[in-house]
């Protein structure tokens, strides 16, 4: 795990323990006791930082998306650069995505992604956005979810078909789809 800059030592240890256990066991089969033993912390320490195992995944996903935001801030953001950065980022973390897919946990990232992306990427890259997604205009909210849904479903398809295409190819497909849709309007 290379993105533990934002996580404390104990949180990092529990995260690594969970990710390592997920390589051989299903999420439901992993106990807090096992995680505590693997992380070399007691159960009380686990419960100091987490209410459940799901909180570990949530924290890790938030940490990943904070890393994505830092990557996206490096150059001016356009639709093309944003889509490309999104897929390049997930290409770097393909092992995590494939682990989630193998364990039938992709839904977890999908369910959390809207708020997490907004908080950790949107407001960091565009500091003029409201801090909370519920404060954006109705149009902006629908546009955000439309774009996010397309990106998410493209990511899921990419994962489930073996991640053979490059991030550039995926970006080109999305941009071409916008061009084709515009012709139909």
CATH classification of the domain holding 159: 1.10.357.10
pLDDT attached to residue 160:
96
- Domain total in the chain: 1
Burial category of 66 from C-beta neighbours within 10 Å (exposed 0-12, middle 13-18, buried 19 and up): middle
Q: Please tell me what DSSP assigns to residue 130.
A: -
Range(s) of the domain holding residue 20: 4-184
Instruction: Tell me the whole-structure pTM to 2 decimals.
Output: 0.83
Averaged in consecutive runs of 10 residues, what is the pLDDT profile of the chain (185 residues)?
A: 62 96 96 96 94 93 85 81 92 96 90 70 60 76 84 95 97 92 85
What are the strands, taking DSSP E only, across 5-119? none
């Amino acid at each position: 795990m290379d993105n533990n800059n934002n996580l404390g030592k104990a949180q990092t240890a529990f995260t690594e323990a969970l990710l390592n256990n997920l390589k051989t066991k299903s999420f439901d089969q992993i106990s807090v006791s096992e995680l505590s033993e693997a992380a070399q912390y007691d159960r009380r320490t686990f419960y100091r930082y987490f209410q459940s195992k799901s909180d570990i995944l949530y924290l890790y996903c938030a940490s990943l998306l904070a890393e994505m935001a830092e990557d996206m801030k490096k150059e001016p953001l356009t639709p093309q650069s944003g889509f490309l950065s999104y897929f390049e980022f997930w290409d770097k973390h393909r092992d995590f995505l494939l682990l989630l897919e193998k364990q039938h946990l992709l839904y977890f990232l999908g369910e959390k992604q809207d708020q997490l992306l907004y908080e950790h990427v949107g407001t960091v890259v565009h500091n003029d956005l409201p801090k909370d997604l519920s404060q954006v205009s109705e149009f902006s909210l629908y546009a955000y979810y439309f774009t996010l849904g397309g990106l998410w479903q493209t990511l899921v398809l990419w994962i489930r078909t073996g991640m053979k295409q490059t991030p550039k190819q995926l970006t080109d497909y999305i941009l071409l789809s916008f061009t084709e849709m515009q012709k139909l309007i």
